[in-house]
Amino acid sequence: MKPMLLTVATDIPLGKNWLYEAKYDGFRCLLEWDDNGAMLKSRNGNDLSEQFPEIIGFCLELHDRIRSFLPIILDGELVYLINNVQSNFSIVQLRGRMRTPSVIKHHVKEFPCHFVAFDLLKAKGESHSDLSLTKRKQKLKKIFQTMTLPISIDYEDNRKLQAIDVYHNSEEIWNKVTVNNGEGLIAKQKTSLWQSDKRTPHWLKIKNWRYVTVVLTKYDKSNGFFHGAIYVHDDLVEVVTFRHGLKEDELQTLVTVFQSNGLKTGENIWALEPSICVEIACIDFDGKHLREPRFHAFNFEKEPTDCHWQHMQRQLFPVPEAIQITHPDKPIWPASSIQKDDYLLYLQHISPYMLPFLRDRLLTVIRFPHGMLGESFYQKNAPDSVPNFVTTQQDDDIRYIMCNDVETLLWFGNQLALEFHIPFQTIHTPMPTEIVFDLDPPSVHEFSLAIEAALRMKAIFDQFGLQSFVKTSGGKGIQVYIPLPVNEFSYVDTRVFTKFVCEFLCEQEPQWFTTERLKKNRHNKLYLDYVQHHEGKTIVAPYSPRGNEKGLIATPLNWVEVNESLKPDLFSIPAVLERMKNQGNPFRDFRLKIEEQKFRDVLNQLQNLD
């Protein structure tokens, strides 16, 4: 059995007989599951189970709950979810090439994948391929509900099997795809049957094309490919080879230009001085080349020097239509050569990791209207006029803005909100959802004191059986987090704990640490601030920039990174973006085992001490 195939379409079909799904950029695959276990089978029939052990392991955990539905076959996609409508194909592809178990195990830890199920082909050993798509979807939903599996995609949910969202309004899903940079959408006829290995007009794929401007550099007659490049600094770097998409007259024009004006550098190769710019349609950039490139149009308004790295990044990651960007070339952090557009690109890339900590919290931002070197001010109150997509929440006499989506984040970015500060609870509870210790050395030169305090705290928390997380403050300090179950502990409860930990460290090393609030009385010691953890107080959000000279980021860390080599200035915007590509998000599992925290036991022990 091989997957049913999709037909490429340019336009989204409309009508009551169509439903719509996000198209994920991953590995199409069948999940075949019987009493002997589960297997992931690629569209070519290859077994991918060893490459994606997190999926197989999750199935094993579910085996007793799904036994009554076996044998079962699900049609779906292996993905690494960036957000709810986007998968990072490069990560899935890299995993698919791995063969060494230890390498795969490490990659699973850093970049865990999901299986997105969109069809049910067999259940209880009975084939469903002759049922309508609507009926197959209904049965799939019922099975997932019975097994308490997600019936809507949530990239933050650690459950590895999730059922795809189904939309009846194409505009709604298309807007989500374009705003979140997804690959496209799939339109399916509700009455369609499932046909193995057949390309059918009943299932259509519509790509979310991005258009990148490149300089033509070379033509290879032997294979018919043209080569295109962009400037990286002063060097032309090839990013695409293409031949599809050209009309016959366009093809002949280009061949003539190369053969008439170019320099013949080989038997079948002509090189051309930078002069002609063209638009290339693609779906992504894999780090070296544009993916699925097609010629789109000539661009005679662009100079070759306009085709540079920053311009390509903006074309690959277009700003949502709802956001009007002003002065994109304004210098924001001059010392780091970061302009407003660089900052907005950072926010787009980091939004999947930052938004979970901003969502549904009363937000305070620090705005720098003229960049880091200009004046700044705190803003809590929403201005009189905010875009329709922005969510606000009244609290006493303040109408707060909540940053719940990438559009709001970019709106803030365009206003040059450079720092994002959040309370310790969401709008849904008066109780803290985490404890945060702010470790504040007297200056960056004493950062080693923050490292020492963090490691000593980690030892205490490990002894108590508490899971903890750590991040830089983006300034001169470190912040240590303990996630808490929702609606279970008050600020009075957490004060008992934070006060004990801070005073214990001060008793251990009084020459290093202090809880003295007045700076003049700290005598160059690290300040352990437990008073700050209180209702109405805020902390800088994970992945928020800071308004310091270099625009350093409040960066989540793995605990193994907290050592003598750790320095705050390692975490600039470019460095953090590169870091996320290579090692994933240390705060990904922040709320994963929240109910297992033994904070109640610890609190009881401390209260008994009194």
- On average, the pLDDT of the chain sits at 96
Strand partners, 228: 216, 240
Shared-domain flag, residues 48 and 166 = yes
Mean pLDDT of 5-23: 97
pLDDT of residue 417: 98
Q: Is the pLDDT of residue 120 over 80?
A: yes
Shared-domain flag, residues 221 and 309 = yes
Instruction: Output the domain CATH number for residue 268.
Output: 2.40.50.140
Mean pLDDT of 26-31: 97
Instruction: Output the domain CATH number for residue 445.
Output: 3.30.70.3300
pLDDT above 70: percentage of residues in the chain? 100
69: left (phi > 0), else alpha (psi -120 to 50), else beta? alpha
Shared-domain flag, residues 237 and 375 = no
pLDDT of residue 116: 98
Of 375, 372, 374, whose CA–CA distance to 337 is shortest? 372
68-99 burial code (b ≥16 CB/10 A, e <16): ebbebbbbbbbbbbbbbbbbbbbbbeebeebe
Q: What is the pLDDT of residues 259-284, one digit of tens each?
A: 999 999 999 999 999 999 999 999 99
Shared-domain flag, residues 184 and 233 = no
Q: What is the pLDDT of residues 166-208, one digit of tens each?
A: 999 999 999 999 999 999 999 999 999 999 999 999 999 999 9
287 CB contacts (<8 Å, ≥6 apart)?
A: 90
* Structural domain boundaries enclosing 288: 210-316
Mean pLDDT of 566-582: 95
Shared-domain flag, residues 293 and 374 = no
Domain boundary (361, 391, 423) is at 423
**Does 448 reside within a domain?**
yes
Q: Is the pLDDT of residue 596 over 90?
A: no
pLDDT of residue 559: 98
pLDDT of residue 593: 83
Q: Give CA–CA dist 489/4, Å, rounded.
A: 51
**Does 322 reside within a domain?**
no
pLDDT of residue 531: 87
Shared-domain flag, residues 295 and 344 = no
Which residue has 């339109």 as its token pair? 187
Q: Is the pLDDT of residue 610 over 70?
A: no
**Does 271 reside within a domain?**
yes
Shared-domain flag, residues 59 and 91 = yes
**Does 326 reside within a domain?**
no
**Does 321 reside within a domain?**
no
Domain count, the chain: 4
pLDDT of residue 594: 87
Shared-domain flag, residues 395 and 456 = no
312 — pLDDT class (breaks 50, 70, 90): very high
Q: Is the pLDDT of residue 98 over 80?
A: yes
pLDDT of residue 12: 98
Shared-domain flag, residues 200 and 273 = no
409 — pLDDT class (breaks 50, 70, 90): very high
Q: Give CA–CA dist 3/187, Å, rounded.
A: 16
Shared-domain flag, residues 224 and 77 = no
The catalytic residue among 23, 137, 176, 471 is 23
Domain boundary (274, 291, 316) is at 316
Domain boundary (423, 446, 463) is at 423
Instruction: Output the domain CATH number for residue 194.
Output: 3.30.470.30
Q: Is the dihedral of CA 331, 336, 342, 343 positive or negative?
A: negative
**Does 584 reside within a domain?**
yes
Q: Is the pLDDT of residue 609 over 80?
A: no
**Does 106 reside within a domain?**
yes
Q: Is the pLDDT of residue 1 over 90?
A: no
pLDDT of residue 365: 98
Shared-domain flag, residues 307 and 252 = yes
Q: Give CA–CA dist 474/597, Å, rounded.
A: 27
**Does 428 reside within a domain?**
no
Mean pLDDT of 374-397: 94
Shared-domain flag, residues 174 and 272 = no
Does the model's pTM come out above 0.85?
A: yes
Q: Which two tokens stand for residue 133?
A: 């798509």
The Cα angle at residue 541 between residues 396 and 496, in degrees rounded to 5? 75
Q: Which ranges of 50-209 would DSSP assign to H, the alpha helix?
A: 53-66, 89-97, 101-110, 133-146, 170-179
Can 23 be counted among the known catalytic residues? yes
pLDDT of residue 595: 83
